[in-house]
């Protein structure tokens, strides 16, 4: 029998905030790994999500949305996205179909190493076919830049297999880089943190998630139940009151939602204890950012 060459490579998923990066990745692998929110800038640091497809191991790199703001935390997020762009075998650039071409043109300027990229038009179910065809025609002026232009809707349209085939074509022939059974290389504490952050996004007002983060203080693993102790960090006393809620109800909802998500991921019972503390200016504090997991250079 002929030997089948394996492929393996890193694929950075790039786009503006709320372009649909994390939703796309969860859809492609069929598991809830990446944090998803309808609010922008939910993803704050790079994470590796692994998909096995035929003879290919695709290591997707989920990234924060490309944006420019002054806070140290936002600088870290921007640096994460740019590093991912420069250190991969392929880029998936996600452009919502209703957007103009400005973000894509900026991306082309930033892709100084000319890493090959596939252009994905996302959220195509939000526009009609005529508008979609017109948008494809607009992007066609850059057809010498991308290896493929693919309209994508995770609700309907192309299959996961088709998109994974297109991605696999661009990967180098290489032995698998990771165990074929794992879905992510992220430490388990980081996964717990992201589930708690997602619950904060889902259960608080527009302002709170951007001024809150999570530090997983301790994890106690046992045969029947794991104990997780985590601290929610906010910027102001008033924000602490909102996160806790009347008679602690909001914090209870956050804890319940996060615990259920973690239990589904781990396949076992979880005890989750949440605390809320005020650390004014935490998003500008290099030492505290490092403790939470964001190293600002």
List pLDDT tens digits, range 55-87. 999 999 888 777 666 667 777 777 777 788 888
CA nearest 214: which of 196, 226, 240?
A: 196
Whichever domain contains 212, its CATH number is 3.30.300.20
Q: Could you report the per-residue pLDDT of 169-195, keeping only the tens digit for each?
A: 999 999 999 999 888 888 889 989 999
Q: Which domain holds residue 92?
A: 7-169
The pLDDT of residue 19:
86
What is the average per-residue pLDDT within 92-121? 94
- The pTM for the full model equals 0.82
236 is a domain residue? yes
Whichever domain contains 16, its CATH number is 3.40.50.300
Q: Do 19 and 157 fall within a single domain?
A: yes
Q: Do 136 and 260 fall within a single domain?
A: no
Q: Do 161 and 208 fall within a single domain?
A: no
Residues 6+ apart with CB under 8 A from 67: 16, 17, 41, 74, 77, 78
What is the average per-residue pLDDT within 223-238? 95
Q: Do 55 and 151 fall within a single domain?
A: yes
The pLDDT of residue 69:
63
Can you list the alpha helix ranges (DSSP code H) found in the chain? 21-29, 72-86, 102-110, 129-139, 160-169, 188-203, 237-244, 249-266, 286-292
174 is a domain residue? no
- Ordered DSSP codes for 226-269: EEEEEEEEESSHHHHHHHH-GGGHHHHHHHHHHHHHHHHHHTSE
Q: Could you report the per-residue pLDDT of 204-220, keeping only the tens digit for each?
A: 987 787 789 999 999 99
pLDDT band at 158 (very low <50, low <70, confident <90, very high): confident
DSSP secondary structure code for residue 140 in this structure: G
The pLDDT of residue 8:
96
Q: Do 227 and 128 fall within a single domain?
A: no
Q: Do 158 and 220 fall within a single domain?
A: no
Q: Do 38 and 138 fall within a single domain?
A: yes
How many domains, in total, are found in the chain?
2
CA angle, residues 176, 179, 182, in degrees to nearest 5:
125
pLDDT band at 1 (very low <50, low <70, confident <90, very high): very low
Choose the final residue of a domain: 169, 199, 217: 169
Q: Could you report the per-residue pLDDT of 244-274, keeping only the tens digit for each?
A: 999 999 999 999 999 999 999 889 999 999 9
The pLDDT of residue 211:
86
Q: Could you report the per-residue pLDDT of 139-154, keeping only the tens digit for each?
A: 999 999 999 999 998 8
Q: Do 120 and 237 fall within a single domain?
A: no
Residues 6+ apart with CB under 8 A from 287: none
177 is a domain residue? no
The pLDDT of residue 169:
95
Q: Do 24 and 110 fall within a single domain?
A: yes
Helices (H) and strands (E) in the chain, counts: 9, 9
Q: Do 142 and 203 fall within a single domain?
A: no
The pLDDT of residue 62:
86
Q: Could you report the per-residue pLDDT of 2-49, keeping only the tens digit for each?
A: 567 899 999 999 998 888 888 888 888 887 666 555 555 567 778 888
Measured CA to CA in angstroms, residue 36 lies from 17, 162, 208 at distances of 11, 23, 16
16 is a domain residue? yes
């Amino acid at each position: 029998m002929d030997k089948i060459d394996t492929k393996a490579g890193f694929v950075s998923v790039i786009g503006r905030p709320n372009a649909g990066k994390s939703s796309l990745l969860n859809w492609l692998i069929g598991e809830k790994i990446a944090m998803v929110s309808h609010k922008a800038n939910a993803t704050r640091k790079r994470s590796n999500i692994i998909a096995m497809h035929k003879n290919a191991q695709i290591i997707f790199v989920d990234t924060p949305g490309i944006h420019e703001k002054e806070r140290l935390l936002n600088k870290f997020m921007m640096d994460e996205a740019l590093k991912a762009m420069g250190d991969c075998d392929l880029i998936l650039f996600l452009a919502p179909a209703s957007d103009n071409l400005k973000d894509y043109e900026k991306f082309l300027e930033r892709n100084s190493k000319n890493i090959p990229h596939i252009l994905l038009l996302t959220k195509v179910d939000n526009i009609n076919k005529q508008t979609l065809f017109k948008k494809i025609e607009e992007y066609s002026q850059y057809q010498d830049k991308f290896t493929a232009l693919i309209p994508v809707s995770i609700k309907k349209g192309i299959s996961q297999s088709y998109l994974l085939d297109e991605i696999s074509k661009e990967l180098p022939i290489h032995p698998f880089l990771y165990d074929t059974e794992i879905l992510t290389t992220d430490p388990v504490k980081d996964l717990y943190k992201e589930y708690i952050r997602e619950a904060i996004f889902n259960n608080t007002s527009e302002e709170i998630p951007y001024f809150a983060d999570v530090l997983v203080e301790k994890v106690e693993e046992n045969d029947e139940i794991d104990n997780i102790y985590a601290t929610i960090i906010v910027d102001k006393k008033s924000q602490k009151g909102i996160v806790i809620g009347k008679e602690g109800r909001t914090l209870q909802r956050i804890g319940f939602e996060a615990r259920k998500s973690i239990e589904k991921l781990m396949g076992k019972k979880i005890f989750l204890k949440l605390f809320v503390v005020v650390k004014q200016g935490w998003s500008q504090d290099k030492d505290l950012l490092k403790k939470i997991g964001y190293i600002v250079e």
